[in-house]
A and B are shown apart, each in its own frame.
Chain A
Amino acid sequence: MVRLEGVHKRFGRLEVLQGIDLEVKRGEVVCVIGASGSGKSTLLRAINLLEPAEQGRVFLEGVEISGTKGLNDVRRRIGMVFQQFNLFPHKSVLENVTMAQRTVLDRPKQEAAERARSLLERVGLADKLEEYPDRLSGGQQQRVAIARALAMDPHVMLFDEVTSALDPELVKEVLDVMRELAREGMTMIVVTHEMGFAREVADRIVFMDEGLVVEQGPPAEVLDSPREERTKRFLGLVLEH
């Protein structure tokens, strides 16, 4: 579904990705863990080419997308949800979910609105269609953001620490939506600090450190009996408290 080969990315003198190889299969849920600054978010942005890699290749559904034109069509097949939600504050909830359907997919107004309604119902926000983002809680905003991404019928979804900016009591409602999505067979790459979620939902855990994939495998393996010293140290720090 998604394949990365030797992906490098630097910001000035800082090499954030130092040669990433990663393959994600259709329907697979991969959770990426690691300390902040390890390159997890940059990895996601390299996949949908918001931060194109300088070296290496990115494939989507068997076709190379790095260094090609027509990125808008590629990006609409890759849904992305951000830590800071990034809803459009000048648009209502419904318009947030219909805008790209109308401009990118040329869906008729009626059809876009219907799709938006059914998705917002799915994330439990059927009663908030006409609200504006600043009237919603963080958890509600993030669920709108998920619906907005799903409205484009993406083939894979990227989640970039989507619960990190939420108050603790709002985390569950967002994770529940993601659980449901995983159960339905969506291909998902999830950068997260929620170890419980990763253990429960992930098919595979990828541990990153200093721009490299250090270790990967099934949750039970990586989380309970890590092979690498760096993985042990990181897990010791996050699981202790």
Chain B
Amino acid sequence: MDAFLSQYFDLDIMWRSLPDVLSGFWVTIQLWLVASVLSLIWGLVLSLLRQLPGRAAAPIRALTIVYIDALRGIPLLLVVLLISGGLGALASEDVIADWIGLPRWFGKPDPFWYGVFAITLTYGAYMAEVYRSGIEAVPSGQMQAARSLGMSYAQAMRKVVVPQAVRKVFAPLLNDLTALMKDTSLVLVIGLAEVVSIGQDIQAETFNSSALVLGAILFLVVTIPLARIVDRQIAKQQIRYQRA
């Protein structure tokens, strides 16, 4: 039992590795926040493209469906590797500009941005489907009422349908953001010093897993409150549902 405790919960190692683990967790948080915002936007764009009305938009709809199916079906890890290996190589061959091939925006290293790209591409596809379910759950009478007042399709979407849809899918989107946070750790394979890779380094040096446990605790500090927010939101919606 003691061996077990000291392997995973060595307070001394935890205390000494705290500054490094925290700085890694700060990278994780930044990656999470940037990728979350971009995924939420990209997902909404995709869902709107997928539901564009009219025959002229058929090719756009088809392309969007292919994209969503493909990115939801490929492991994120693979996308991370494709992006990081591909963009850097293309930039060095001058096929694409350095600022996009070797992004170092806002003082962040290129693995950080490769991670942001890869996560956004993948999670945008997931979230597009969540948004879609929300948009489809808005009664068709809402669109009809807006159009009958003379609003264009785009105005009706922006002012009437999407605001209601987003409210309906708040909980599942938050679930996706929780999953996204955990998946940021995949970016360690391309050398980003986030919390899991730092914990792994310390484990390799000390043959002790306490720094990784510390990292796990930090994840829980964020994800558990998120889970409670989701619960509350679902309960609130059920009340509204029963009233309607």
> Which residues of A come within 8 Å of B, CB atoms?
48, 50, 72-73, 75-80, 82, 84, 86-90, 99-100, 103-105, 134, 145, 148-149, 152
B146 contact set on A, CB distance < 8 A: 88, 100
A48 contact set on B, CB distance < 8 A: 148
Q: For the complex formed, measure the closest distance between the CB of A149 and the CB atoms of chain B, giving whole angstroms.
A: 7
Complex Cα–Cα for A121 and B110 (A): 61
Which one of A72, A80, A84 has the greatest number of beta carbons of chain B within 10 Å? A72
Q: Say whether, besides A50-B147, A152-B149, A104 and B155 are in contact (CB < 8 Å).
A: yes
Is A103 a contact partner of B155 (Cβ separation < 8 A)? yes
Q: Say whether, besides A86-B142, A88-B142, A75 and B148 are in contact (CB < 8 Å).
A: yes
Is B160 a contact partner of A88 (Cβ separation < 8 A)? yes
B206 contact set on A, CB distance < 8 A: none
Partner of B149, one of A76, A89, A134: A76
Contact size class for B?
Answer: 20 to 34
Of all chain A residues, the one with the shortest Cβ separation from B150 is A76
> Which residues of B come within 8 Å of A, CB atoms?
139, 141-142, 144-152, 155, 159-160, 163-164, 167, 240, 243-244
Q: Say whether, besides A90-B163, A90-B164, A104-B155, A134 and B244 are in contact (CB < 8 Å).
A: yes
Of all chain A residues, the one with the shortest Cβ separation from B153 is A72
Q: Say whether, besides A86-B142, A134-B243, A134-B244, A104 and B148 are in contact (CB < 8 Å).
A: no
Complex Cα–Cα for A145 and B146 (A): 11
Is B148 a contact partner of A50 (Cβ separation < 8 A)? yes
B142 contact set on A, CB distance < 8 A: 86, 88
Is B151 a contact partner of A72 (Cβ separation < 8 A)? yes
Is B145 a contact partner of A152 (Cβ separation < 8 A)? no
Q: Say whether, besides A90-B164, A90-B167, A72 and B144 are in contact (CB < 8 Å).
A: no
A104 contact set on B, CB distance < 8 A: 149-151, 155
Complex Cα–Cα for A75 and B148 (A): 6
Complex Cα–Cα for A92 and B87 (A): 49
Q: For the complex formed, measure the closest distance between the CB of B240 and the CB atoms of chain A, giving whole angstroms.
A: 8
Q: For the complex formed, measure the closest distance between the CB of A212 and the CB atoms of chain B, giving whole angstroms.
A: 25
Give 9 CB contacts A-B under 8 Å.
Answer: A50-B144, A50-B148, A72-B150, A75-B150, A84-B141, A90-B164, A99-B160, A104-B150, A149-B148
Complex Cα–Cα for A88 and B244 (A): 14
Across chains A and B, which 6 residue pairs bring their CB atoms closest together, nearest first? A76-B150, A100-B149, A86-B145, A86-B141, A80-B148, A104-B150
Q: For the complex formed, measure the closest distance between the CB of B70 and the CB atoms of chain A, giving whole angstroms.
A: 33
B244 contact set on A, CB distance < 8 A: 134
10 new A-B contacts, CB < 8 A, other than A73-B150, A88-B145, are A48-B148, A50-B144, A75-B148, A75-B149, A78-B148, A82-B141, A90-B167, A99-B160, A103-B155, A134-B244
